[in-house]
Homo-oligomer: A and B are copies of this chain.
Amino acid sequence: MSESRRREFNFGAGNPAPEVFPARALGEAAQRVLARSGKELARYPDARGVPELRAIAAERFAHVHGPRPPIDDIVITNGSTQGLQLSAQGLARPGDAVVVEEFTYSGTIRVFRRNGLQLVPVALDDEGMRMDALAEVLERQAALGRTPSFIYTTATYQNPTGTTQPLERRLRLLELARRHRVPIVEDDTYADVSFEPLTEPALYKLAEPGEVLYLSSFSKILGPGVRLGWLMAPQPMLGRLLGWKIDGGTSGLSQMIVAEYFKEQLWEHVEEAALAVKEKRNVLLDALEVEFGDMGMHWTHPDGGLFLWITLPAAVDRQRLQRLATERGIVYATGQAFHALDQDVPYLRLSFGWIAKEDIAEGVRQLAECVRQSLPAVV
Contact = CB atoms under 8 A, between A and B. Distances in A.
A244 interface: yes
A126 to B, nearest CB: 28
Interface residues of A, number: 58
Nearest to A81: B248
Given A30-B31, A79-B248, A225 B40 contact: yes
Contacts of A111: 246
A42 B223 contact: yes
A12 B10 CA distance: 49
A336 interface: no
Contacts of A78: 78, 247-248, 250-251
Q: How many copies does the complex hold?
A: 2
B35 A227 contact: no
Contacts of A94: 94
Contact of A41 (B21, B79, B247): B21
Nearest to A38: B23
A33 B110 CA distance: 32
A179 interface: no
A6 interface: no
A267 interface: no
Contacts of A212: none
A1 B359 CA distance: 67
A9 interface: no
Interface in A51-86: 78-79, 81-82, 85
Interface string A214-255: 000001001111111000000000000000101111111110
A166 interface: no
Contact of A251 (B34, B42, B227, B246): B227
A135 to B, nearest CB: 32
A328 to B, nearest CB: 21
Contact of A226 (B79, B228, B253): B253
A87 to B, nearest CB: 14
Contacts of A354: 42-43
Interface of A: 13, 15-19, 21-24, 26-28, 30-35, 38-45, 78-79, 81-82, 85, 94, 107, 110-111, 114, 219, 222-228, 244, 246-254, 257-258, 354
10 contacts: A23-B34, A23-B38, A40-B225, A78-B78, A225-B249, A227-B247, A250-B251, A251-B253, A251-B254, A253-B258
Given A227-B249, A251-B251, 4 more contacts: A85-B247, A224-B249, A227-B248, A227-B252
